[in-house]
Chain A
Amino acid sequence: MLLTYVDAIRQALAEEMRRDPAVFLLGEDIGIYGGAFKATAGLVDEFGPLRVVDTPLAESAIVGAAIGAAYTGMRPVVEMQFMDFIACCFNQITNFAAKSHYRWGAPVPMVIRGPVGGGVHGGPFHSQNPEMYFAHTPGLKVVEPATARDAYGLLKSAIRDNNPVLFLEHKYLYRRVKDEIAEDGPATPLGLAAVARPGRDLSVITYGAMVHLAVETAAALAAEGIDAEVLDLRTLAPLDRAGIVATAKKTNKVLILHEDTRTGGIAGEITAILQEEAFDDLDAPILRLTSADTPVPFSPPLEAAFLPSAEGLKAALRRLARY
């Protein structure tokens, strides 16, 4: 069936709930209303209000309750209405869930999923990319699919994983990308990057909605004789170090692109990995193209200036190709 990114998420949730009675959902307005983005539409009708739980507006209590339920053997999937609000339950995630297995051997099989990202004029509190707060915290897994197929397959793996997984869904993609997905299809393993476009001359390492910008820009640059490879990280923690090093060794030139802000973004970490593991293979300095170090601004011209652009990416790739 041809599914949009958000429909693929709903399909994966429904199939996992049918497969495993331990899987249940909790979040704000996810029941009868079906979620702010309709990712859970209709699920309460099939699974009932005890497995699709409408909660009070209380992110710490929601995540705390999910942790407790996970300790009893359940597999809770929490919806954050917008991932920006994950700041409200930071402590539950980073201090309770993330450290639980390390400290006392108690796994927390929990998924926290919800929309991230800009490009939809959501303003400072409905557009953020909070991945690096969590990628920096040992014990958490952080996943961000770029395609409907990966949204489906990676969510299945996230639900089956015995660790707390942050599943970041780019809201710009919810209804803009589609894939043909077979019913009860396979889960996609976490921790593996994928080559979204093979190329010979240089590599763009990216994830989320930026994968599409990179693939489109690479297609445009092909006419100029620049053959760009695009590596979709898919999982930010744990990082696919081997996949990152492999593309660098293949093309010898790397640009890292992300929608997250610049300072402390994953580009810095990837740059360090490449310095450590592929220095001799590099023919050019590692470049980064990221959002600016500001809050996400609201007005469309301001947001356009904040986000990485196709023109900016073209210019950076042309510069990289010249080395």
Chain B
Amino acid sequence: MTPSPELTAADRGANSEREWFEDLRLERHAFTIRRTRREGKIAYEWSGEITDPPPLRESGKLDRAQCLEIYRFLLMNRIMEQQLENLYKQGQVVGGVYFGLGQEGNSVASAYALDAADWMAPMIRNQGSLLVRGFAPRDVMMQYMAKAGSPTGGRDGTSHYGDLGPRRMISPISMLGDLIPVMGGICMGERLQGRNVAAMTWIGDGGQSTGVFHEAVNFAAVQNLGLVLVVENNLWAYSTPLNEQAKVADLALRARGYGIPAVMVDGTDVLQVYDACRGAVERAHGGGGPTLIESKLMRMKGHAIHDAAAYVPPDLLEFWRRRDPILRFEGYLQQKSWLTAEAKQRLAAEVEQFMLAERAAAEASPMPDGNTALSGVYCEPGCHAVQPRFEAAAPALEAANGSANLTAVEGDAPHLR
């Protein structure tokens, strides 16, 4: 048993890699993507070996019931996105559709690591996290269809909605990176009211290039805020491959520059993602500050539905097709005898049925009345209450500003070196 990276004030800036960095992966993906000229045209070329993945890394944190719940969310995520694609093809979607194909395991398992009191803000490919957080598939569908019944009443689309109430979800905006300081601020506001919470959001290999990413991670580090930042390295920012986005070999290495712990995981291994995120969430609860988690995976569709992703080398897709997060997790459940073929079929049929009903409900919602566009620019008196909830006995707030005692987090597995 090796403890998770655990920073004490004295360790800040320590030189030993082990103290700030943990790699949960069971395999290192060895391939390269290069820009070449082929028959007069610039193209990307893949070189590597198409191998099969290892079995999943045993968690020890998740029991059978939790694993089956995660599996259900994974199926919902994938089947919901299939329905979104159908709706688009039938002309029922306004604008485009974004998919998280190949990233469902990461979206679901990370969000599953949050407690109800924690906060979350999804990125466009984390539609699975919305389901984990308790939003109905019909909400996502109505957002894409710009319906009156959508959470934003047609004022915005996609996963651009949230809930300051029980689901504690912040609506993203399209500008990448801007969610990160906001989630840090969530922790700051909660801390001032006497609570240490985790605030999770995601960023991509592209979004990590923004200036606000660096400002926000540094800010969270200095202020010791419980930010859980999952860097989804899906190798492509629209059509730009990773090697044209960043020079570092692993995006997790950037955590070193801010003096915060980092964990690297295989983003197609649900159990690794959960363990890393749960560790980060518990660190946040203990006042231990932010964690950066790099999740390595692959965007298996284009940037959005209009993008055929012809620039992606086919062998790269084949490599990752063998690492489908849902199939890998199914294999794990079957090997544990937690999911029989019969139960799997039953569950899939049940989710299919549920999704059709959700779709019917979404379709039944009318389009919004145009006049509703004109109100609600300002929060007028009596429209929304702004109500902090101060705890009677606040934890040692004075200690929090960069000098909190950091709580040890249970580690559960050896590093892969």
Q: Which residues of A contact B (CB under 8 A)?
A: 21-22, 24, 48-51, 53, 55-56, 58-76, 91-92, 95-96, 99-107, 109, 138-139, 141, 162-163, 238
Contact = CB atoms under 8 A, between A and B. Distances in A.
B384 A105 contact: yes
A218 B192 CA distance: 50
23 contacts: A48-B398, A49-B398, A49-B401, A50-B191, A55-B219, A60-B215, A61-B184, A64-B178, A64-B181, A65-B182, A65-B223, A66-B185, A71-B164, A72-B189, A72-B388, A74-B388, A95-B175, A96-B178, A96-B182, A101-B376, A104-B155, A104-B156, A162-B379
A68 B185 contact: yes
B193 A72 contact: yes
Nearest to B155: A103
A72 B187 CA distance: 9
A68 B212 contact: no
Dominant SS among interface residues on chain B: loop
Contacts of B130: none
Given A101-B378, A103-B171, A104-B151, A50 B193 contact: no
Interface in B154-186: 155-156, 160-162, 164, 170-171, 173-175, 178, 180-186
A150 B186 CA distance: 32
A163 B378 contact: yes
B31 to A, nearest CB: 35
Contacts of A99: 173
A107 B171 CA distance: 12
B192 A61 contact: no
Interface in B223-262: 223
Interface residues of B, number: 53
A29 to B, nearest CB: 14
Given A24-B192, A48-B398, A64-B182, 10 more contacts: A56-B219, A60-B212, A63-B181, A65-B181, A65-B216, A95-B175, A105-B376, A107-B386, A163-B378, A163-B379
B173 A95 contact: yes
B184 A50 contact: no
B190 interface: yes
A65 B161 CA distance: 19
Contacts of B376: 101-102, 105
Interface of B: 151-152, 155-156, 160-162, 164, 170-171, 173-175, 178, 180-193, 199, 211-212, 215-216, 218-219, 222-223, 376-379, 381, 383-384, 386-390, 397-398, 400-401
Contacts of B192: 24, 50-51, 69, 74
Contacts of B390: 21
A73 B384 contact: no
A70 B212 contact: no
A235 B377 CA distance: 17
B182 A73 contact: no
Given A60-B215, A138-B377, A70 B189 contact: yes
Nearest to B199: A68
Given A68-B186, A104-B156, A56 B193 contact: no
Given A56-B215, A105-B376, A162-B384, A68 B175 contact: no
B133 to A, nearest CB: 14
Given A72-B388, A74-B189, A102-B155, A61 B212 contact: yes
A37 B281 CA distance: 40
Contacts of B378: 101, 139, 141, 163, 238
Nearest to A97: B182
Contacts of B186: 68-69, 71-72
Contacts of A73: 189, 193, 386-389
Nearest to A24: B192
Nearest to B180: A64
Nearest to B397: A50
Nearest to A69: B189
What 10 A-B pairs come out closest when comparing CB atoms?
A68-B185, A64-B181, A72-B189, A69-B189, A73-B388, A65-B185, A58-B215, A61-B219, A61-B215, A107-B379
B140 to A, nearest CB: 14
Select the residue from B156, B171, B183, B376 with max chain A CB neighbours within 10 A: B171
Given A105-B376, A106-B171, A60 B181 contact: yes
